[in-house]
Structure 1
Amino acid sequence: MNKTFKIYAVIFIVMMLILALLEVNKKETTDWRKNFDPNEKSPFGLFVFSNEAKDLFKNKLKEIEQTPYEYYNQKKGAHNIIVIEHDIDRESWKKILEQVSAGSDAMLMVSNIPKEISDSIGFYDSDISFEEENVLKLTDKKYQNDFIQLDKFPSGRGFSYIKPQAEILGKTMEKKNTDQANFIKVQFGKGTIYAHSEPLFLTNYYLLKPGNVKYAQDVFSYLPDRETLWFVESKSKVSRFFMRFVLSNPALKYAWWTFLGGLILFIFFNAKRKQRIVPVIEPLRNTSVDFVKSIGNLYLQEGDFHDMMAKKAQYFLNKVRMDLLIDTQNIDEEFAKKLQMKTGKSIEKINEAISLIKRAQDPYASVMKEDLEKINKLLDEILK
């Protein structure tokens, strides 16, 4: 058994022990998300309502997994429509309004009434309260003894402005705030729209409490006794991910992640090169710069500034011939004009440079160190 295998074995055993401890000490957590899913048994799912709804509507309830836009592709007689906290597209809302206008009734249990509906039934502002508890109660005297107390995450939404044509059917009551409408009725064409801003009372958590079912029955009693369509999220939308079976099973999921962890560790440790380290060989040093520096120092030590100045002028004129294609046989006024046009430098600088070049070419001219520095700087600026 080699050393690498022992390391893998120890790491694998440690990982398995950690996973076992996590599994043993894992606590069941409650999912308090407001999903409003008819298949969810979590507190804020609609599993209980979905099972009891058929009796509530006398077996006349039909769950529709299509969007209203897809479902209403042909004329349909008067019926009831239910929407519970369901995201519906604009065209589908238009289809619902068309059905209501033709004589159907719609019960909309949504915390945020869409603009397509509010614009059609009358403008209103949505009021929001942040109280942790409130009570939902209907305004009709025959339902005055039926109410429901919301003590877990109420939305606190209601209608703060309602037009005269709307009838208030229910209110939200709070200790520190005034009552606000949460359930209204509006005539629309030949039909009626009922809008409730707090669908939370239909979730599993509240329907399983004693006495709360009566409030839900009272709310739906406003709908006539006839066929009722409930538009729900499609139950047929099953994940197509190829690992869905493995990830849906806790034991298989842990095994899968353990396998992936071991595979990553294996790749990490085996990614190292197993061949001998290749020694770094320093490349041959370029001595051209050193040579140039040595020649420069030699000239400076000799102090022959006139010779260096002449070489600089000769190098400059060669560059002018090769790069700028200007004849340098006669360094006169015409040469100055051509050089000025091609370099864009001022005529004063070019005339000064020509004067220094002629001085460098004169073997009897007296040249100082300052002259060498000046011509070097000036010619470099012209060719820059």
Structure 2
Amino acid sequence: MTAYRKYIALILLLFVALVLLDYFRPKPVDWSETYTREDKIPYGTYALYEVLPGIFKNEPVVSVREPIYNQLEDSTLEGNHIFINKAFEADSLDVNLLLDFVSRGNQVFIAGERFSSFLADTLHFDTAILQSTNPDSTALVFTSQPQARKYTYPPNENSWFIEVEEQAGHVALGRNKAGQLNFMKVPFGKGTFYISSAPLAFTNYSLLTMQQSTYAATALSHLPVQPVYWDEYQKQGRPDDQSIFRVLMRYQALKWAYYVGLAALVLFLLFKSKRTQRVIPVLEPPRNATLDFVRVIGNLYFNTGNHKNIAEKNITYFLEYLRLHYHVSTTSLDSEMQERVVAKSGADATQVNEIFRLIHSIRQSKAISDQTLLQLNDYLEDFYRQTSTRPRAQV
């Protein structure tokens, strides 16, 4: 037993050491592209959101956690609406309100690699990927500053560029070194859309690690200084939409853990249902209820104190026993009948005489004592025991 305790203690010690090692080891860098203003990971937008008040001086910066339709159904709303995400997703209702918002003289800034087909079709543009890791071909430059410094796109990332229809009225504001459009201005009504295909250029990695904060500031400086509405709905959803499944789906490690857990549960159920036999119920052997019944009846007669009644029933059973086993007539309990019982049963003659003497005495008495009842029972039990082990006489 002591050896088992040592093994258990060793296993617990190793488990605690593993937990502490995992807790204190350097955390791996999370390269998830969240683009949320609260994330300080490389591809969050915490740094950009913090510098927005400096770009739009004395103007409020509001984080929006409502769908576009809910936010812009108020037709009196004015300002700059900024969307920075991997993909800009909006249905026809959202896009119609966004177009109406811009046509009234407001501005919308959208940075993403892919865009809603409703918006892209209306503004006559599309995006495509430039599969190249050469910094010279993917570097970003502003067309208004052709001799200025170039901004390197995050390494090992593919660059997206914008394809526009000819004669569509788009104004190029930025290109990559390959000459492909990645930032443009699209007038619409009294306002303007600003479309960028380089959302990673606005993340913490670009602003802090690559020391390229001026690119984001220059791109956003095209917007007029007025209230700013920063969209967080397409990245985080509504404030009350924070279920555990949303958190699991947000992080790659938790998402895979969730999928693996579900798969393991399904496999467990499948194999467990096939390999485990149903529980076999324990069947109790049938009880001899006759003995219980006799015991209850006997206790009932004995407790009432009617010993003669019990003795009469024992005598009746004894005489029935003689008739069935030895074919002796019990009509008259005379000496001749007693001799036949001795001859056929092989019992001791003295014993048989005592039994019948006691029977006569009981029948002539109005009541008997418990000692007499016990004596009768002992005589009869002794007779049954002796005659059952002896061969029966043939007459």
TM-score (norm 2): 0.54
User: What is the aligned counterpart of 2:148 among 145, 149, 155?
Assistant: 145
What letter matches 1:111 in structure 2?
E
Equivalent residue, structure 1, for 2:207: 207
Give the Cα separation in 1 of the matches to 2:227 and 2:34. 26
Q: Are 2:44 and 1:45 equivalent residues in the alignment?
A: yes
Q: Secondary structure at the match of 1:148?
A: coil
Q: Secondary structure at the match of 1:208?
A: helix
Q: Kindly state the Cα deviation for residue 160 of structure 1 after the two structures are TM-superposed.
A: 3.3
Q: Kindly state the Cα deviation for residue 185 of structure 1 after the two structures are TM-superposed.
A: 1.0
Is the 1:155–1:198 contact (alpha carbons within 8 Å) kept by the matching residues of 2? no
Is the 2:154–2:201 contact (alpha carbons within 8 Å) kept by the matching residues of 1? no
Give the Cα separation in 2 of the matches to 1:163 and 1:30. 43
User: What is the aligned counterpart of 2:17 among 16, 20, 30?
Assistant: 20
Cα gap change, 1:92/1:15 in structure 2, threshold over 3 Å: closer, same or farther? farther
Is the 1:78–1:104 contact (alpha carbons within 8 Å) kept by the matching residues of 2? yes
Equivalent residue, structure 1, for 2:181: 181
Q: Secondary structure at the match of 1:160?
A: strand
Q: Secondary structure at the match of 1:53?
A: helix
Q: Kindly state the Cα deviation for residue 13 of structure 1 after the two structures are TM-superposed.
A: 4.7
Give the Cα separation in 1 of the matches to 2:8 and 2:179. 63
User: What is the aligned counterpart of 1:172 among 148, 151, 176?
Assistant: 176
Cα gap change, 1:32/1:14 in structure 2, threshold over 3 Å: closer, same or farther? same
Q: Kindly state the Cα deviation for residue 102 of structure 1 after the two structures are TM-superposed.
A: 1.7
Q: Kindly state the Cα deviation for residue 139 of structure 1 after the two structures are TM-superposed.
A: 0.1
Give the Cα separation in 2 of the matches to 1:12 and 1:37. 45
Equivalent residue, structure 1, for 2:68: 68
Is the 1:146–1:215 contact (alpha carbons within 8 Å) kept by the matching residues of 2? no
More helix by share: 2
Within a 5 Å distance, the mapping from 1:215-364 to structure 2 comes to 215-233=215-233, 234=237, 236-237=239-240, 239-241=242-244
Equivalent residue, structure 2, for 1:371: none
Structure 2 unpaired stretches of 5+? 248-271, 284-395
Give the Cα separation in 2 of the matches to 1:37 and 1:55. 19
What letter matches 1:60 in structure 2?
P
Cα gap change, 1:44/1:187 in structure 2, threshold over 3 Å: closer, same or farther? same
Provide the aligned length of Structure 1 versus Structure 2: 247
Q: Are 2:86 and 1:89 equivalent residues in the alignment?
A: no
Give the Cα separation in 1 of the matches to 2:149 and 2:203. 17
Is the 1:54–1:60 contact (alpha carbons within 8 Å) kept by the matching residues of 2? yes
Is the 1:147–1:215 contact (alpha carbons within 8 Å) kept by the matching residues of 2? no
Cα gap change, 1:75/1:172 in structure 2, threshold over 3 Å: closer, same or farther? same
Give the Cα separation in 2 of the matches to 1:120 and 1:92. 13
Runs of 4+ off more than 6 Å = none
Q: Secondary structure at the match of 2:187?
A: strand
Give the Cα separation in 1 of the matches to 2:112 and 2:73. 25
What letter matches 1:199 in structure 2?
P
Equivalent residue, structure 1, for 2:106: 104
Cα gap change, 1:230/1:238 in structure 2, threshold over 3 Å: closer, same or farther? same
Superposed CA offset, 1:223-260 (max 9, x none): 11111211113573464559x9xxxxxxxxxxxxxxxx
Q: Secondary structure at the match of 2:40?
A: coil
Q: Secondary structure at the match of 2:36?
A: coil
Structure 1 unpaired stretches of 5+? 245-267, 279-384
Give the Cα separation in 1 of the matches to 2:225 and 2:147. 23
Q: Which has the larger radius of gyration?
A: 2
Q: Kindly state the Cα deviation for residue 201 of structure 1 after the two structures are TM-superposed.
A: 0.9
Cα gap change, 1:80/1:49 in structure 2, threshold over 3 Å: closer, same or farther? same
What letter matches 1:55 in structure 2?
G
Equivalent residue, structure 1, for 2:310: none
What letter matches 2:143 in structure 1?
T
Kindly, what percent of the aligned residue pairs are identical? 23
Q: Secondary structure at the match of 1:183?
A: strand
Give the Cα separation in 2 of the matches to 1:18 and 1:162. 62
What letter matches 1:159 in structure 2?
I
Q: Kindly state the Cα deviation for residue 29 of structure 1 after the two structures are TM-superposed.
A: 0.7
Give the Cα separation in 1 of the matches to 2:153 and 2:17. 40
Q: Kindly state the Cα deviation for residue 147 of structure 1 after the two structures are TM-superposed.
A: 3.2
Equivalent residue, structure 1, for 2:129: 128
Cα gap change, 1:240/1:161 in structure 2, threshold over 3 Å: closer, same or farther? closer
Q: Are 2:159 and 1:156 equivalent residues in the alignment?
A: yes
Superposed CA offset, 1:17-52 (max 9, x none): 145236426442111121111111111111111212
| More deviation, 11-20/144-153 | 11-20
TM-score (norm 1): 0.56
